[in-house]
Amino acid sequence: MIWNKPKECMTLEEKRNLQGERLRKLVERVYHSTPFYRQKMQEMNITPADIQTVDDIVKLPFTTKQDLRDNYPYGLFAVPMSQIVRLHASSGTTGSPTVVGYTRRDLSIWAEMTARCLSAYGADQNDIFSVAYGYGLFTGGLGLHYGVEHLGATVIPMSSGNTAKQIKLMHDFGATALGCTPSYALYLAEAMAKTDIPREDFKLRIGILGAEPWTENMRKEIEAKMGIDAYNIYGLSEVMGPGVSHECQYKDGSHIIDDHFLPEIVSPDTLEQLPYGEQGELVFTTLTKEGLPLLRYRTKDLCTLTDEVCKCGRTSVRMGRIVGRSDDMLIIRGVNVFPSQIESVILEMEEFEPHYMLVVDRANNLDTLEVQVEVRDGFYSDEVMKMVDLKKKIAHRLQSVLGISADIKLVEPYTIKRSEGKAQRVIDKRVFN
Ligand code: ADP
Ligand code: ZN
C-alpha cells in the first residue's frame, strides 16, 4: 500500500518544483541561522539568491561528519535549544559520536516517513511489530517505534539483547513483524530454531532490516531461516534516522524519501556530481529539517542511484545496496576490498554459515587477510583432507572475486561471536601513521 500517494507518486516535474522551492527556503534559512553555513557560502562567494532550482545544488558547500564533530555538540543546530525536543547521537561506528537534534516538526516528519516505509512492506494497523533495534541514543529503536505508532499498528518496544525473551515475547504477543539488524536477525533465527516452539506457532511475516550493509545472499539466508519476507530500511542519524529510504514489494532498490531528502551521487575523490547509474558516494541535503538541516551531507556510503519509475508506482529516486562505506573499504596489498564482497562469496557456498570475521594484519611489510568462517553442521569433518579441500575451494573463489589471496581459517558452527546490533566483522591490526 502507498501511504502518502500525493508525495510518493508525484510527477517528476512536480517533484523538481517542490524540491527546488524547498531548497531555496532551506538555503535562505541556514544562511541566516547557522554561522557555519553563512561563512562557508561567503567563502565560496555565493548568497541565497544564487540558489533558485534543484540544479543549483552543485553550487553549495558539502558538509562532513568532521564538521559536526568540530562544532560539537550544538554548533550546527539551526534553531534555539528551546525548540529542540529530542537529541540522538550516532552510534560512533567510525569514531566519537555526533549529536543530532530534532524539533517537534522534525519528529512528526520522521514518523510519517517511517510509516511510508512500513506501508511499502505491506504492513498495516493489524500488524504487531517487535522493535529489536537498540532504544536510546541510537536512532534505530525510537525511529522505528514512532513510525509503527503513526501507522496505527502495535509496537513492542523490545530494544536489543536478551534473545530468549525476544523470542518468547514475539511468540506470546503474536508479533507479525520484526525490526533489527540483518546480523541480529540471523542470530535470532538460529536461536528460534533451537527452542521447542515450532515455526508455525510464530506469526512473523515481515523483517525490517537495516543499519548495516547486507547482501542479496544474506537476504535469502534470513528469509529461508526465519520464514519471513525481509526488506531493507536505510538511514543515518545525521540526516534523520531509519526511514531515509526503504524497499517496496519489488525489492528492486530502496526508495528515497526525496521530497524531504535530496540525493546526489558524487565521486569521493573529485566530489563532482556523477550521473545516475554510476557508483559513488551518496550525499543528502535535508530539504525540510529544522533542528539540524544539512547541506550536501557526505554519507561515505557507496552505491548507485536510479530515477526510473518503479513498478510499484512510486516515482522517488531509488538507491542500490550500499556496497560499503568509503571508510570501511580495506586496502590490502594495494587492492580495494569491501567486506560485502567476501560476504557474497561465503553466502553463495552451501558449506558455510553466514558468520565470518576478517582479520587484517601486516607481516614482513606485507598486508595479510585472514577470513574466519563457520562451516555448516554436516559439512564439518574430522578428516583433514576434506577440510583442506574445502579451504582450497573457498580460497580459490575469494581470489577470483577479490583479486588477492586470503588465508582461510575454518571454524566450527557457533564459534564466531553473534551480534545484537551492528555487526563488527573486521579487525584491522595494522598500524597506520
Ligand atoms: P554511525 O554508524 O555512523 O555511527 P548511524 O547509527 O546513524 O551512525 O548509522 C548510519 C550508517 O549505517 C549509514 O551511514 C550506513 O553506513 C549504515 N546503514 C544504515 N542502514 C543501512 C542499510 N540498510 N544498508 C547498509 N548500510 C546501512
Ligand atoms: Zn517500488
Q: Which three cell numbers stand for residue 349?
A: 557456498
Residues 285, 355 within the same domain: no
Residue 234 Cβ < 6 Å to ligand 1: yes
**Banded model confidence at residue 94, pLDDT cuts 50, 70, 90:** low
The count of structural domains within the chain is 2
Contacts of 93 (CB under 8 A, 6+ apart): 422
DSSP assignment of 127-180: -EEEE-SPPSSSHHHHHHHHHHHHHT-EEE---S--HHHHHHHHHHTT--EEEE
Residues 76, 193 within the same domain: yes
Helix (H) or strand (E) holding 310, with range, is none
CATH number, domain with residue 16? 3.40.50.12780
Residues 342, 363 within the same domain: yes
Query: Which residue among 69, 212, 215, 286 has the greatest number of ligand 1 atoms within 8 angstroms of its CB, and so is best to mutate?
Result: 212
pLDDT tens readout for residues 393-415: 999 999 999 988 999 999 999 99
Residues 316, 364 within the same domain: no
Mean pLDDT across the chain = 95
- pLDDT confidence of residue 91: 60
Residue 97 has pLDDT above 80, yes or no: no
Residues 239, 116 within the same domain: yes
Q: Are strands 280-286 and 318-319 parallel, antiparallel or unpaired?
A: unpaired
Residues 183, 275 within the same domain: yes
Residues 387, 348 within the same domain: yes
Q: Cα of 211 to ligand 1 centre, how many Å?
A: 5
Residues 343, 223 within the same domain: no
CATH number, domain with residue 387? 3.30.300.30
| Protein residue closest via CA to atom 11 of ligand 1 | 236
Residue 208 Cβ < 6 Å to ligand 1: no
| Domain of residue 178, residue span | 1-327
Q: Which three cell numbers stand for residue 22?
A: 524547498
Question: Cβ of 429: how many Cβ atoms within 10 Å?
Answer: 10
Say whether pTM exceeds 0.75.
Answer: yes
Q: Cα of 8 to ligand 2 centre, how many Å?
A: 10
Query: Which residue among 292, 301, 327, 340 has the greatest number of ligand 1 atoms within 8 angstroms of its CB, and so is best to mutate?
Result: 301
- pLDDT confidence of residue 330: 87
| Protein residue closest via CA to atom 19 of ligand 1 | 211
Residue 356 Cβ < 6 Å to ligand 1: no
pLDDT tens readout for residues 19-69: 999 999 999 999 999 999 999 999 999 999 999 999 999 999 999 999 999
pLDDT tens readout for residues 339-376: 989 999 999 999 999 999 999 998 888 899 999 999 99
First-to-last C-alpha distance (Å) of the chain: 52
Residues 334, 320 within the same domain: no
Residues 233, 88 within the same domain: yes
Residue 432 has pLDDT above 80, yes or no: no
pLDDT tens readout for residues 148-187: 999 999 999 999 989 999 999 999 999 999 999 999 999 9
99: three-class secondary structure by DSSP: strand
Residues 319, 340 within the same domain: no
